[in-house]
Amino acid sequence: MRCRYTFKLKSEVALSGLLHFSHGGCNFTLVSETGRLSAIQVEQAGVKFGAYPKLSPPSAGQLAKVTIPPDPLFPSIQLEMRAVRGALALWGVFDIEIEQAKSEWLPETDEERSSTDMFGVSRSVTPLGQGRPVNLPMDQIIRPLISRRSFLPLEIPLEFFRRGRIDLYEQRYIEAIYDFYFVLEYLFAEGQFTKHGTRAAMLKAAELARAIREAQGNPMPEAYQRSDDRSDFDTKYRDKSAAEIIDGILSLRGLLHHQSSTHKKNWNPSTPAPFKVDAFFLCAVSHAAVLDLSCALTFEPEEDAAFKSTQVFAGDGRRINWVPIPERPDQGKSKP
Output the pLDDT for position 313.
92
> Which H helix or E strand runs over 65?
strand 65-67
Q: How far is CA 111 from CA 63, 73, 116, in A?
A: 27, 19, 9
Q: What is the pLDDT of residues 244-268, one digit of tens each?
A: 999 999 999 999 998 888 877 788 8
Q: Does 330 have pLDDT greater than 70?
A: no
Q: Does 15 have pLDDT greater than 90?
A: yes
Q: Which of 14, 26, 165, 162 is nearest to 84 (CA)?
A: 26
Which residue stretches of 234-327 are H helix? 242-256, 276-298, 301-308
Output the pLDDT for position 329.
67
Q: Which of 300, 282, 273, 297 is nearest to 336 (CA)?
A: 282
Mean pLDDT, range 95-99, rounded to an integer: 93
- pLDDT band at residue 332, thresholds of 50, 70 and 90? low
Q: Does 302 have pLDDT greater than 90?
A: yes
The mean pLDDT of the chain is 90
Model-level pTM?
A: 0.82
Output the pLDDT for position 336.
60
Domain ranges for the chain, please list them. Answer: 2-121, 139-308
CA dihedral 217, 218, 223, 229 (to 10 degrees): 20
Q: What is the pLDDT of residues 200-218, one digit of tens each?
A: 999 999 999 999 999 999 8
Question: Are 334 and 288 spatial neighbours (Cβ–Cβ below 8 Å)?
Answer: yes
Question: Are 170 and 272 spatial neighbours (Cβ–Cβ below 8 Å)?
Answer: no
> Which H helix or E strand runs over 177?
helix 173-188
- pLDDT band at residue 327, thresholds of 50, 70 and 90? low
